[in-house]
Amino acid sequence: MIALVRTEFVKAARRTRSLVIVALLIGLPALILFAIHRRAGRADRGGDRGEGLFRLAHQSGLLVPAAVLSVMSGFLLVVIAGTIAGDSIAGDAAWGNLRYVLIRPVSRVKLVLAKGLVAGFLIWAATVLVMVAALVGGVLFFGAHPVTVPNLSAFGGTGALSFGFTLSSSALVLRVLIATAYVAFGYSALLAMGTFFSTLTDTATGAIGATIGVYIISEILNSITELGQVRYAFPTHYLDAWEPMFTGNTYPHDMIVGVVVQLVYLVVFGAAALVWFQRKDIRS
């Protein structure tokens, strides 16, 4: 199993696409950092105040990762995670290489697990890379100060700020770590669905498109409040549940529910991928 994981990791990591993703994951936080810096300048001159994490980020570089994550977790990281997961098995099939992997005495269950583990690792690595890039850039630009967060619920239409709470540097670091882990784990459903779709088709783009498509549909449906409690079961519903750690000084209960929802998707679609792939005729 370790050998299989190692070979699958080398195959995934040595792609040109991986280098492009790394460049994006470092470059985009840098761009966002630049935007925060500019916005901070305008705010100092009494201009655009913005709101939420994006507005607060200039107070401390330790808050920049949270601001970057709030921007990137809903789309770019979804696209990257969906690409990694959807390509995991269908990519090999599209190259015609899958049949050669499977004419080795290699268990199909182990192969799916190895590919899933590698995809999961890469998704976590992508999330961590974004956070590290944002943290390093943020601290360099704005320092590592404590943050005083106003009562953001009072923003409303008046623009008047009431006193909120202060997050120490150590509290910020801890919450950044928790947010990183939560968001990375929040792609577990996407990982499992992507791997499952990847066993269904020999076309990598099809599996990737289906995976990302499910997330986009989930996001659209999640925005329709009339759907009520049904939305709680959507894989994207709790994706932003970590934000109140920074804006409300709480560890939201929704994060625990979010983890449970992701676990359910992981188990259901992971099992479906294993069962389907074991029975599948390899025709690619």
Which residues form the interface with another protein (CB under 8 A)? Answer: 2-4, 6-7, 10-11, 14-16, 92, 95-97, 99-108, 278-279, 281-283
Q: Which is nearer to another protein, 12 or 131 (CB)?
A: 12
CB of residue 7 vs another protein: minimum separation in angstroms?
4
Measured between alpha carbons, how far is 118 from 92 in angstroms, rounded to an integer? 14
CB of residue 106 vs another protein: minimum separation in angstroms?
5
How far lies 111's CA from each of 1, 89, 138, 195, 276, in Å? 8, 9, 40, 11, 13
CB of residue 267 vs another protein: minimum separation in angstroms?
23
CB of residue 187 vs another protein: minimum separation in angstroms?
24
Measured between alpha carbons, how far is 182 from 223 in angstroms, rounded to an integer? 21
Looking at the DSSP bridge assignments, the partners of residue 147 are 167
Q: Which is nearer to another protein, 185 or 277 (CB)?
A: 277
Q: Which residue has the tokens 């040595």?
A: 14
Q: Which is nearer to another protein, 15 or 38 (CB)?
A: 15
Q: Which is nearer to another protein, 114 or 134 (CB)?
A: 114
Q: Which is nearer to another protein, 80 or 189 (CB)?
A: 80
How far lies 198's CA from each of 20, 176, 273, in Å? 22, 32, 8
CB of residue 269 vs another protein: minimum separation in angstroms?
21
User: What's the Rg (C-alpha) of the chain?
Assistant: 21
Helix (H, G, I), strand (E, B) or coil at 149: strand
